[in-house]
Structures are given as C-alpha cells and as structure tokens.
A and B are shown apart, each in its own frame.
Chain A
C-alpha cells in the first residue's frame, strides 16, 4: 500500500473515532445567541443601561414633585390618609391649605407650624380607623394632653392664616 493511500485511510479512521462532545452545542449556541443579541443592539448590558437611564429620567421629575408636596412632609404620602377613608381630593385640599399657610406665614413660623401639625396628625392618624372614624378613647391621658397643647399652639397660626385670608 502506498503511503498516500495509507495516510488517507488512517486519517479517515482516526477521524471517525473523534466524537464531538454533546455539551459543546450548548456553548456554541450561547455564543450565537449572544452575538445575535449584540447585533440587534439588545445586548444584556445595553438593555440594563437603557433601563437605568429610563429609571433616572422618571426619578428626577418625581423627586422634584415629591419635594413640592407639602402634605407629604406630614403624611409621608397620600396613601397614609387614603387608608383611613380619605380620598385623593382630600389630600389635594390639605395640600392647598398648607400652600396657603406657607404664603401667609414667615419661614420660621411655617416651619414650626408644619412641625406642630405633623405631631398632631400623627396622633389623629393613630385613632382613626380605616373608615375615617375617630376613636378618642384609644388615646392615653398623656396623648390627650399633648393634643390639647398642640391645638392651642396651632390656634395662633390658624388665626394668622385665616385672619389674613379674610381681610
């Protein structure tokens, strides 16, 4: 047998014993999918970046809006009072009231007013059930005293706000 022929035979036989590992398919397929995604411009990295940018775009105005909601400073969010029988309109009304107060009071006064109001609201929220019904009996003596105290201190501000509101 010539060496040429023998080489062909032996190489052919050797080749037939070389089996492609089946797990290689998964790997090649993964590379393929990755390449195709990249080609379409939808690589996971790009996708993630895009999501990030979109999120940032949405976050900026909502952060700005949140800061302009005075009522949020007191209740956290509208859902706090909505859970207690109030509506979104009520919340807007409170917000309007607070905006008026901000315009009528000096900066320091307004700060104090907000602080007092917040304390009062926290107590009121505590005794208000989900239907908006108040249960004063749930308050301790100490808490009742606190409410009275807050009310009397707030009266000054209410008068100032309402007084100038109706000249």
Chain B
C-alpha cells in the first residue's frame, strides 16, 4: 500500500476506527520495527519504542502535512522516539548492564542476520559497531535512501553536521573493513 492509499485509513484510525488501525499497523509495522532495530539492540526496548511510535502517530496525526510524504513524517516520529528513549535519564542507570548484555545479543542477532555467507554481512556488522550518532546517519542514508538535507531535517541538526558524521562513518567503515580483509572500491 502506498502513502496516498494509506492516508484515509490513517485519518479513520486517528478518529478511533479500529479496523483502520489494524490496517495502518499492518502497513507500517515492518518499517517502524526495522528502523528501530537498526538503532536499538535490546528486544524489549525495541518493542517499547514501537509502541511509543504508534502512540505518537495518533496523538500527532493532526500535525501531519498531507502534501509531504507520509513515510518521511513517520521516520521523523520514529527517530524522535528513539532519541527520546536515549535521552531518558533513568534508563542510563541500566546502561552498564545493557552494554554487557549487548555483546551477547549482538552475536545472537548476527547469527540470524547471516543469510548467505559471513563475508557478505561483514559490513553490516561493522555498521552495528558504529556509535549511535554515526549509525543513524548511515541507516537513514543507505536503508531509507534519504538525502543529507532530509537527514538533517529528521535529526533536527545542521546539514554540515550530517555531512561530517556521514564522512566520519564512511571513513570508519572503510578502515575497519580493510582491517578485516574485505575488498571494496573506494568511490
């Protein structure tokens, strides 16, 4: 279902039509879930944020400008919820414990992610090791195909900052990739 077809359903869902809600959820769940799962690694946290994204969707639907792409608005909400989650101080208390768990989870998750060969997903593993600030730029650029200006708008930071983060992320990926013996052309 494309954006245009989805809008009337969204309107209905925001007014309380439950079958419309079901349809909107089915049409958007994968996008929302995957975007978050690229940025946050704990399964429970991912689910919490997915839930918050949908809450935000109903609450803020009246602010949606229908002349713009729905997905763009949705990704804006999703990223903001992830950032909010990261900002919440009380979660930081659990950060140490989480970092410890992450190493284990990362392995489990990567196991599942491997489709054909380990080599093919090496780059993805490296993306997962990037810091959040660099990673979010990579995900928006290469998973959602946004222009750097759009990324700046979504992240609410200057374009210059996005450019430098993008540059830094690519540099790190290249360096690490070469270190692990991968081959690629520098474009």
Contact = CB atoms under 8 A, between A and B. Distances in A.
Interface of A: 1-4, 6-8, 10-15, 17-18, 20-21, 24-25, 27-29, 31-33, 35-36, 39-40
A31 to B, nearest CB: 6
A32 B54 contact: yes
B54 A28 contact: yes
Question: Which 5 pairs show the lowest CB-CB distances between chains A and B?
Answer: A10-B124, A7-B142, A11-B143, A36-B16, A20-B33
B185 A1 contact: yes
B112 A17 contact: yes
A27 B121 contact: no
Interface residues of B, number: 41
| Most A CB within 10 A of own CB, among B29, B112, B123, B145 | B123
Given A35-B59, A39-B16, A14 B142 contact: no
Interface of B: 13, 16, 18, 21-22, 25, 29-30, 33-34, 37-38, 43, 47, 50-51, 54-55, 58-59, 112-113, 115, 120-121, 123-124, 127, 138-139, 142-143, 145, 170, 173-174, 177, 184-187
Contacts of A10: 120-121, 123-124, 127
Given A7-B123, A13-B115, A28-B54, 19 more contacts: A1-B185, A2-B184, A3-B170, A3-B177, A3-B187, A4-B187, A7-B127, A10-B124, A11-B142, A13-B113, A13-B120, A13-B121, A13-B124, A14-B38, A24-B29, A29-B21, A29-B25, A33-B18, A36-B58
Contacts of A1: 184-185
Contact of B55 (A13, A20, A24, A35): A35
A20 B139 CA distance: 18
A14, A17, A18 interface centre (most CB from chain B within 10 Å): A14
B38 A11 contact: yes
Contact of B115 (A7, A17, A25, A31): A17
20 contacts: A1-B184, A2-B187, A3-B123, A3-B187, A6-B123, A7-B123, A7-B138, A8-B142, A10-B121, A11-B127, A11-B139, A12-B143, A13-B113, A18-B37, A20-B33, A28-B50, A29-B18, A29-B21, A32-B58, A36-B58
B33 A4 contact: no
Contacts of A36: 16, 58
